[in-house]
Structure 1
């Protein structure tokens, strides 16, 4: 039997980063992955492939909608070749997953492919079934174990996912045809990103959202701005609609919902994307045998050190409470590795940014206005429109804004909310500022290169310090 200092179950961003950091700290490390490729949901059927399709569809949309205004004339029909886009997406995925394999080998991390399940708190059985369903199994021992098994798409109890017409994000990333009408249930990040992909390629897209606004966990001003822009792009929105039935036929899906007034309405499309969130994935782990407890939501209970009810077993990422974000899982992976090594790491969950990779992008960190109001915090707000920037005018990306929320007395930045071109990258400036407890004036006094999108951050900070933005 092979023995290790640390064994990690799951090779997504949380798991593989934890493995690398454990190895860097001198621990003998193993990682267990039930699928043939490493990288988990993020690299295989999540973050990376969705961004590949977003980029491909963005290029296509620019070619048909914006090239002419830039003086680029293309003769003949411009066609979207979905198969080539999907093939390119898969090539991006394959390159990334092979890169993870390289990192495991470089750091001398042992890889096991198979389903890891607990025998007890220090022993794991790894089963790798063959085509017949049998196959081999082996047992390993580990002083410490990290559960990083991630999440799976969730659904509504009455919806049957046939994965042909009623699909999840996984199937939406590998469709064989561009939908005529894609009905999206759920106005969150996944539904909006994939909805925009297929809208750009020519599909009619309808988004049904139970709440009164899209991206409901983000600042309300971002929800309003993004819906306005996506509506202008042709996506139809039905907020405060409660889906009550989904019926799939051979070539058509019928979705029934109650509207804002409680009246039944019907939607018909050739595909229905169910994107109502994700749920922790712990199937087959046999948590009870290791003495690991989970709550009623299926999340594994952990303390402030990310230890489970079994002190030598830790859990990170989507399988525990908190935002289901790849970079949160990565931070937790490093945190646990350093904790096991006897160090004193920290994570400030308030400073984990959230991003929507539509175009325009949406990004945020810290508190929303709604949260500050609910907590009774006396705050001030500064805002600057992207359309007032020279860089935005030059590129044609004039939608969106940057908003900075600061403490009314101390001027400390409490939250930053952005919608616009490249704000997924710009948000890092806000995270750095808030990590060092910067004031709005600190940001306002920093020199920002001209012309850049980042100037909107400086201008919003100037606005927050006393309504003295220079270019509005």
Structure 2
């Protein structure tokens, strides 16, 4: 929708850089250029610092850690600790998260002050090429013209056009992170990253949890052993999995009582819950910001169209992060910042060919870098598969965290093609392998390394010393 621009005598203010949306890539770019002496304005509608410190990565991991502590209480006898039981104070759990968020926002505000970036809180939108108007909370407006303009407005949770869903007022991850009372029965639509992390956390904190997923498996794009491992984990922890199910309708109001009607294996079924959490994908925040007035085009998926240098179709305008279709990870948005920073200084960096690591913060974690087995087979790439159970990593036995496995794909020249771990602290283990891949080290460098005993990283010696299975290209 094109914003309405009314007549005004407002004189545009000139800046070297104007940024709309203060997410990961945008804020670091603004701070960096301001430190170099450039005049920089940052326009932010609500979340100072973007979604990660406010409503996404860090707050969710804060809640997940509280749930991890609760799981230790539930397993106290396993560690030889007598316990008479425990209760969950959800308001206190959420309070710990809010305290962290406030501290993070305060840090961001101080950085804006010390770098000299002008932080402008308001609703920003284009009214012409490289020209933005900002509606301020006090009812006034400002116009900002940038020699360079960067768009970093991010994405939001998608709410699909399912009969009754919108009127049921479902939770998204934003509202789920603000719960002061535990849902009696939380029904999560979607078996992807967000849905799985919330499902396990809320189950461990005491909610009954059901996941309704349209595909036949959780994380259906990952290798079958990853999906199977997660499904076993969730069922063992008491999460009800409803797979290969398509939602047909919703009735009731989330927070009170809701009924979901769905079709599974040709049959129409229903499930009742007290709350719904929608976690079925993300929608780019491109509507209502006047992109057509700026000459900025969109892709078929609704993301801002950019090239490998993050340049939009409008001269002098760039985009970064999720709104530009970059992989939906904060660490990728940070790399987008580095690409823009270097190219603004005359460099020639591109988004193509970069590594995209990920970690799913379930317990145990799932982490991956490089080529998966599914991708290798699809591309007819031959590989040697090294795979061990996490129990073979002796540190896991001291922690009573032996669930899962780790595996690596190795090329004929001994280079590491990819690595996946489903295990305790999987993200940390994966990062060690990623560093080896960055350095183009052969797998034998890890196999023959002297790593401290007993640590989780030592398991990499066990992994690469195991007998591989050769998978030939078709």
1:195-344 → structure 2 map (5 Å cutoff):
195-249=199-253, 251-259=256-264, 261-344=265-348
Deviates more, 1:328-337 or 1:243-252: 243-252
Q: Name the residue aligned to 1:171.
A: 175
RMSD across aligned C-alpha pairs, in angstroms? 2.0
Distance 2:247 2:205 in 1: 26
Q: Name the residue aligned to 2:421.
A: 418
8 A Cα contact 1:7 1:145, kept in partner: yes
Q: Name the residue aligned to 1:452.
A: 455
Provide the TM-score with structure 2 as the length reference.
0.92
2:446 is the alignment partner of 1:443: yes
Could you tell me which runs of 5 or more consecutive residues in structure 2 were left unpaired when the two chains were aligned. Answer: 1-11
Deviates more, 1:428-437 or 1:274-283: 428-437
Distance 1:33 1:302 in 2: 22
Deviates more, 1:295-304 or 1:428-437: 428-437
Q: Name the residue aligned to 1:184.
A: 188
2:393 is the alignment partner of 1:389: yes
* Residue of structure 2 aligned with 1:150, choices 149, 154, 167: 154
Q: Name the residue aligned to 2:77.
A: 68
* Residue of structure 2 aligned with 1:120, choices 116, 128, 134: 128
Distance 2:257 2:354 in 1: 43
> Measured at CA, do residues 347 and 432 of structure 1 come closer, stay the same or move farther in structure 2, by a change above 3 Å?
farther
Distance 1:89 1:457 in 2: 34
Q: Name the residue aligned to 1:470.
A: none
Distance 2:385 2:79 in 1: 36
Q: Name the residue aligned to 1:17.
A: 28
SS of the equivalent of 1:272 reads: strand
2:54 is the alignment partner of 1:44: yes
Distance 1:149 1:426 in 2: 32
SS of the equivalent of 2:33 reads: helix
8 A Cα contact 2:187 2:210, kept in partner: yes
8 A Cα contact 1:384 1:460, kept in partner: yes
Per-residue displacement from partner, 1:98-152 (whole Å, max 9, x unpaired)? Answer: 111222222221111111111222221111234xxxx111011211111100000
Distance 2:52 2:296 in 1: 25
Deviates more, 1:166-175 or 1:50-59: 166-175
8 A Cα contact 1:209 1:241, kept in partner: yes
> Measured at CA, do residues 143 and 373 of structure 1 come closer, stay the same or move farther in structure 2, by a change above 3 Å?
same
Per-residue displacement from partner, 1:185-219 (whole Å, max 9, x unpaired)? Answer: 10001001111111001211111111121112333
> Measured at CA, do residues 243 and 177 of structure 1 come closer, stay the same or move farther in structure 2, by a change above 3 Å?
same
Per-residue displacement from partner, 1:425-463 (whole Å, max 9, x unpaired)? Answer: 222112212222332222222222211111223322333
Q: Name the residue aligned to 1:97.
A: 105
> Measured at CA, do residues 163 and 199 of structure 1 come closer, stay the same or move farther in structure 2, by a change above 3 Å?
farther
Per-residue displacement from partner, 1:14-58 (whole Å, max 9, x unpaired)? Answer: 2212222333454332211011x4122221111111111111121
> Measured at CA, do residues 160 and 336 of structure 1 come closer, stay the same or move farther in structure 2, by a change above 3 Å?
farther
Distance 1:388 1:464 in 2: 13
Per-residue displacement from partner, 1:70-97 (whole Å, max 9, x unpaired)? Answer: 233344x411000011111111111111
* Residue of structure 2 aligned with 1:58, choices 50, 68, 74: 68
Deviation at 1:370, TM superposition (A): 0.9
> Measured at CA, do residues 162 and 93 of structure 1 come closer, stay the same or move farther in structure 2, by a change above 3 Å?
farther
Distance 2:221 2:29 in 1: 28
Deviates more, 1:431-440 or 1:198-207: 431-440
1:342-421 → structure 2 map (5 Å cutoff):
342-347=346-351, 350-407=354-411, 409-421=412-424
Distance 1:112 1:337 in 2: 22
8 A Cα contact 2:326 2:333, kept in partner: no
Q: Name the residue aligned to 1:31.
A: 42
SS of the equivalent of 2:428 reads: helix
8 A Cα contact 1:363 1:418, kept in partner: yes
8 A Cα contact 2:365 2:427, kept in partner: yes
Could you tell me which runs of 5 or more consecutive residues in structure 1 were left unpaired when the two chains were aligned. Answer: 468-472
8 A Cα contact 1:181 1:204, kept in partner: yes
Deviation at 1:162, TM superposition (A): 5.3
> Measured at CA, do residues 442 and 24 of structure 1 come closer, stay the same or move farther in structure 2, by a change above 3 Å?
farther
2:89 is the alignment partner of 1:81: yes
8 A Cα contact 2:17 2:38, kept in partner: yes
